[in-house]
Every structure is written in C-alpha cells, then in structure tokens.
Amino acid sequence: MAQIIWQADFYRRPLQDAGGQALWELLVCDLTRTIEFVALCPQSQANAQWLVKQLQLVADKLPDTIQVFRPQSLSLITAAGEKLGITVEATRRTNALKQWLQERSPLYRNMDNYTGEAYDLLALEKPPPTPLPEKLWGEQWRFAALSAKDVEEAFQERPIPILDMPPALMPLQLGLASNTSIPGVIIYGGRQSMRLARWLQEANPVTLNYIAGTPDGLVLEAGLVDRWIVATFEDQEVSASAQIYEQRKQQQSKGLHFLLVQPDNSDVTFSGFWLLRQD
C-alpha cells in the first residue's frame, strides 16, 4: 500500500486579528493537492496542541508522513506528529506546497486584516556558507558529466553503500533524452571517502552550485537552509569548467546534476552517489 504523504507549512502571515495580534496560518496538502486545508490561529495559540486538533480535521485518514520545508515550522509540526504517530520529514522538496504558496501569495493583500507589511512566503533566512570540516576534505575533485542513460543504468546496479536517487529526480521522469549530458562533481576522498559520504548523507544534499567570486567556489545547499563550502579555486581552467557545469544545469538538464564520492579515480569502488536538483 502506497504511503500517504502530506506537506505542511505553519507560520506567521502578514495578517492580524481584531485585537492586533499576529495570525499564523496552517496549510496542508497532499502531493496532488487533492487535499487542501487552511486554518488560522492567533500567535498566542500557535502550539503543538492546536496543530494536533487541526491535523485531525484535514482528512478521514491521517498520513504516514508530513513533509516540512520551513525551519520555523519544523519543531511544532514534529511535536504534533509525535502525538499522532506521524513521521515528520524535513525536506526542501515540497513542490506541491510551494506551488500552492505561490498561488496564495497575492490573496493576503486583499484581506481586511492585512497588515501592509512586505512578505515572501517562500523566503527562508540562510546562514553564510561554512567551510566543509577539514577532517572530511577529499584528496582531489573535478567536474564531470554523464549521459542521462548512464545515470539511469550505471549506478542503480552497482553496490554503492550510499545511493540517493529519488524517483522524481530520475532523468526519464524529468523528460530528459537518454543522450542528455548531466553535469556533476566527483570527489576522490581517499581514506576519508566513506566518512565523507556518510557525513553528506546526514547533511541531506540538495544542490551543488558554482559561485563566481574572489576566489570562485562550490557551495553545497543541504538540509533546509544549510550551506557548505566544498571547494574554492582561482585557476582559470577550473573556472571555465565550472561555468560549463552551470550552463549544462540551466540549459540542458533542467537543473539535474550529481555528486559522486569515491576513494580514487580507478572507478572500481564508489562510496556515495546523489542526484541533486535546485529546490
């Protein structure tokens, strides 16, 4: 039986009640938005107990999992989930919910209790990127590319200890042709290879971006708002490769890219492989 998955957001909106108290809004939907549930409460009532009562009203059957993308929502929804026996998953990949939030965004300005403050429902405060812990540094790294066919076939069949290839990110699922070039980054971790792969899995990688600057860098977006500096470089050839990497992401692969960690360049043993895409 397929798992029932909901996506939820619970946070302050640019609204207030008659007494001038800020209002919080709970939005809950399923992956197809067949279910859509909205409830408002004063900030003084924004707690796990209120959430428990509301979640029980959403549908006849509670979900197996609730996905949450906003850090400020996570602890309250997790607490409510524990009371109801629901797993709560922290993930940026809440596409149905984010689409709904974008559609709802213009509505608040037309409400009588709109506060007039500027807002962006999808904006999250992100800390400045932190250097990867030195004990995890690999020996070398490089930009690479694989055909969509190789991504689909080569890694699924290999005994890789950590393999993260969500069905929604598979090239065919994204409508990419089998010969599309999928850009990526390979890290040769040497003796630290498995330790690095385990750390990455716990960090929950989302996307790996080239950031131009002085020096240029590779920044890993992970978790809900975490950012990690994977590498910095000033070499012009490396910067040119980085630009090609970003161009492929934006113009060919619909944002799909990969991260591969292996002990060395023999291509015999792999420690971890992740399919990534801009959230």
Beta bridge partners of 220: 208, 228
In this predicted structure, what is the pLDDT of residue 134? Answer: 78
Domain ranges of the chain: 5-110, 130-277
pLDDT in tens, 163-207: 999 999 999 999 999 999 999 999 999 989 999 999 999 999 999
**Tokens standing for residue 268:** 């015999």
What string of DSSP letters covers the chain?
-PPPEEEEEEEEEEEE-TTS-EEEEEEEEETTSSSEEEEEEEGGG-SHHHHHHHHHHH-SS--SEEEE--HHHHHHHHHHHHHHT-EEEE-S--HHHHHHHHHHGGGGGGSTTB------TT----PPPEEPPGGG--SEEEEEEEEHHHHHHHTTTS--SEEE--GGGSTTTTT--TTPEEEEEEEE-GGGHHHHHHHHHHH-EEEEEEE-SSSEEEEEEETTTEEEEEEEE--HHHHHHHHHHHHHHHHTSTTEEEEEEESSTTSS---EEEEEE--
Q: What is the CATH number of domain 5-110?
A: 3.30.420.10
Q: What is the pLDDT of residue 267?
A: 79
State which residues of the chain have pLDDT below 50. Answer: none
pLDDT attached to residue 132: 86
